[in-house]
Structure formats: structure tokens, C-alpha cells
Amino acid sequence: MGTAPPDTAEGLTPVEAARSLIPLLAAEAVRTEERRALTETTVTALRRAGLLRLGTPAAYGGQGAGARTAVDVCEELARGCASASWTAGIAYGGALFASQLPDPERETLWRDDPDTVVCGTATPSGTARRTGDGWTLSGRWPWISGIRHAPWTLLGFARPGTGGEPERDMAVVPTSALTVEDTWHMAGMRGTGSHTAVADEVYVPDSRTISFTAMADGVYRRRHPGEPRITFHLSINLPLVATAVGIAAASLEKVLDAAARGRPALSPLHRLVAEAPAHQLNLADAATLTDTARLHLRRAADEIDTHARAGHRPALAERARLRMDAAHAMRCARDAMSLLLDTAGAGSFADGSALQRAWRDIETASRHAALSVQTSKEIYGRALLGAPLPPNPVI
């Protein structure tokens, strides 16, 4: 039996609501991992707390939350369950994408349920054939987190561009029109259920497609002038970095608590872990790395929100730095986790250990392609030196 979710989060801010769910999510985390999907108890709790509607436009009963709120929410959720945090972040990003659609399509998605989850992948895959006033999609789209809980799925695809180069688009497709293949058998983040979507001649009208170029050029901001402007990929992916920060922060608390309760040091020099200078220095480094990750992430979220509210797209040099902020935060969180395991010891790798699960989760999450430190460094270095970068709406 799962833990009963709270009845309501009425009167709480989204961050407070997320914090209130930490014990429940932690209690459900083992079952979530075993099922390789969020438990119904977890999904119900997220829904009741309003955390699946963070990115839903306010006009349709959503939070219309900015990146900073989403970042802070996902950090709190990750203290209980990394997969729940990641899925909430995916729902936020999916809603931001879908909010670019025309109002009749947005009404179809959210009129009856502002908690409707939109998941998906921006990576172009499959084939797209022009059919009337739309596209017919076929192919496979792997690693779509939360697809078991999402009535709608975003599928990235490439189409011929006016200048000869392919253009990147996304299609919003009813998940019921797709086959979901059970392919997510991974070391970490198992509860995200990031399976593969298969489309077989699925028609999508133009009204349910989103152009990366149009989004970068602010076309959709003009369609919905009262709503924040989206900066891909930063607006979408910053909450996913917060999952890693939350994992590191929760793990730091666990290791510090064990030391405070008198964990013995397996050393001939010191009786307790708390007395050993090596562990004191190690924990200081881990805490500083976690703080560094949080500071970089929050700076990036605050700057993105400022631009989003003003309807601006950050300049290229700033986008490069903000992308570096996100990748650096992710790497710092992972490095902090490694130091914490040095102090926690080999016992942390035992089956059933919460620290072992945290280690597997952060090692998996930090390899997300959009958050690659190497790619972000190259982009940032080129921007700093004024070297050319391709005219790509993703950059």
C-alpha cells in the first residue's frame, strides 16, 4: 500500500507545496523505482498540490510559473524522489512548449483539466511527410520521460527549410495515437519511465506544430502577448538541473545527519567521522559545490525570467553564459555527490541504500545531452572569443 497523499495544497506556494510532499515522495521512492514509473500515489499528490500545472498558462487554470519557481519546486521534490522531480520538470517544459500553440489548440489541451501533462522530446527523429495542411509522422522517438502519465506527447521532427537547410519543429500528438514501447531499463532515474514513442502514419495539423525558428524569433510571444517569452532550451531545462541539485542537497543532509549521530570512523586515527579532518574538509567541499550549483542555477533562472517577462530573447553571449551556468551547476551537483560517497563509505552502495539510488540517479540525469558540459564550454568559449557560431535557433 502506498502512502496517502494530502488532500490539498490550498494556501501554500508551489515551493511550500513541494516541500510538504517530501516525506510522501521518499516513502514512495522504492516502489517508484521498482515500477519504473511514478506510483499513482505520487501522481495524485503532485496533481493535488498543483505541481503538474506549473507551466500551464494562467488563462487555463495553470500556475503560469517562471523558471525560478519551477527550479525551486524541482529541487524540493528531488529531496524526496528524483524521478518525481524530473517528471514535474518535464511537465513544466512540455507545458511551455504547448503554450505556444494557438488558443483553440490550447483549449483542447487544458480547458477541462489544467493538470494535463504534456511530455516529449525536442530531438528530431522519424520522418515527416507533408500532407494537406499538416504533417504525417512515422518513426521512433526514444527516452520520453513521463509518457505513461501524459495524454499529449511532443515529437521533434525535421522539415525542409526555405534556405535548403532542414528546420526543426515539434508536433503535439495525442499519446493515444502512439505506441509506447517499454525501453527504459536504466541504472538511474528508473521511475521516470522514459520509454520510446512509436508513430505509424500519424497526422498532425499545422496548428499543432511548433517551429524552433518562430519561437526563437518571438513569433509566439506576439500570439500570446501577455505571457512570458520562451528561450529554448534554457526555460525548458533549468528545472531538470534542479533535480540534480536536490539530489545532492538531500544526500548532504543524510551524510551530515549520520555523522552527527556518531557514525564511527573506520580509521586508526579518529574514533568518529565528525572528528576526522579529512571528512570535515570533504563535507565542506561537498556543501560548497552544492551551494555553487544552486547559486548558478538560480542566477540563470532569475535572468531567464527577467527576459521572459520583458518579451526579450537574451543576446547570444548571455545565452551562452546561461547555458554554461546550467551545465556547470549540474556538474557541481554530481561532483558533490561523489565526495559525499567518499565520506559515507562503501556501505552506501548496498542494495536498498537511499544514497546508492541517489548516486545512480544523479549519474544518469547529469548525462542529459542538452546539459553537456563539454558542448556548453565550447559554445561559451566561442562566444567569449567572438568566434563564429552556427545560426541555429537551438543555440
* Tens-digit pLDDT profile for residues 268-286: 889 898 999 999 999 999 9
Say whether both 105 and 199 belong to one domain: no
Say whether both 71 and 164 belong to one domain: no
Tell whether 222 is covered by a domain. no
Tell whether 392 is covered by a domain. no
Say whether both 153 and 285 belong to one domain: no
Asked if residue 7 has pLDDT above 60, the reply is no
Residue 47 pLDDT? 98
Tell whether 34 is covered by a domain. yes
φ, ψ at 61 (rounded to 5°): 85, 10
Tell whether 171 is covered by a domain. yes
Q: Averaged over 352-364, what is the pLDDT?
A: 97
Query: One-letter amino acid identity for 269?
Result: L
Say whether both 241 and 381 belong to one domain: yes
Say whether both 302 and 246 belong to one domain: yes
Cα gap 210→99, rounded to integer Å: 10
* Tens-digit pLDDT profile for residues 38-75: 999 999 999 999 999 999 999 999 999 999 999 999 99
Residue 8 pLDDT? 47
Tell whether 7 is covered by a domain. no
Instruction: Please list the alpha-helical segments (H only) found in 261-388.
Output: 277-310, 316-344, 354-365, 373-385
Tell whether 226 is covered by a domain. no
Say whether both 183 and 248 belong to one domain: no
Per the listing, cell 559554445 goes with 379
Domain boundary among 59, 94, 110: 110
Residue 164 pLDDT? 73
Cβ atoms 259, 274 nearer than 8 A: yes
Domain boundary among 89, 110, 131: 110
Say whether both 142 and 206 belong to one domain: yes
Say whether both 131 and 44 belong to one domain: no
* Tens-digit pLDDT profile for residues 182-216: 999 999 999 999 999 999 999 999 999 999 999 99
Domain boundary among 64, 82, 110: 110
Question: How far is residue 260 from each of residues 157, 250, 253, measured CA to CA in Å?
Answer: 53, 15, 10
C-alpha cell of residue 118: 504534456
Q: What is the mean pLDDT of the chain?
A: 95
The domain that holds 168 is classified in CATH as: 2.40.110.10
Domains held by the chain: number:
3
User: Which of 17, 383, 35 lies closest to 195, judged by CA?
Assistant: 35
User: pTM of this prediction?
Assistant: 0.95
Say whether both 83 and 147 belong to one domain: no
Cβ atoms 194, 121 nearer than 8 A: no
Question: How far is residue 83 from each of residues 8, 131, 206, measured CA to CA in Å?
Answer: 22, 38, 33
Owning domain of residue 183: 118-210
Asked if residue 4 has pLDDT above 80, the reply is no
Strand ranges across the sheet with 152-160: 118-121, 152-160, 166-174, 209-211
Tell whether 393 is covered by a domain. no
The pLDDT-based confidence of 1 (bands split at 50, 70, 90) is very low
| Contact partners, residue 46, CB within 8 Å, separation at least 6 | 21, 38, 52, 84, 87, 88
Say whether both 265 and 137 belong to one domain: no
User: Which of 135, 33, 376 lies closest to 234, judged by CA?
Assistant: 376
What percentage of residues in the chain have a pLDDT greater than 90?
Answer: 89
The domain that holds 322 is classified in CATH as: 1.20.140.10
The domain that holds 39 is classified in CATH as: 1.10.540.10
Residue 325 pLDDT? 98
Q: Could you write out the DSSP letters of every residue in 224-263?
A: STTSPPP-TTHHHHHHHHHHHHHHHHHHHHHHHHHHHTTP
Say whether both 239 and 357 belong to one domain: yes
Local structure of 111: helix, strand or coil: coil
Residue 3 pLDDT? 56
Tell whether 333 is covered by a domain. yes
Say whether both 260 and 353 belong to one domain: yes
User: DSSP label at 265?
Assistant: P
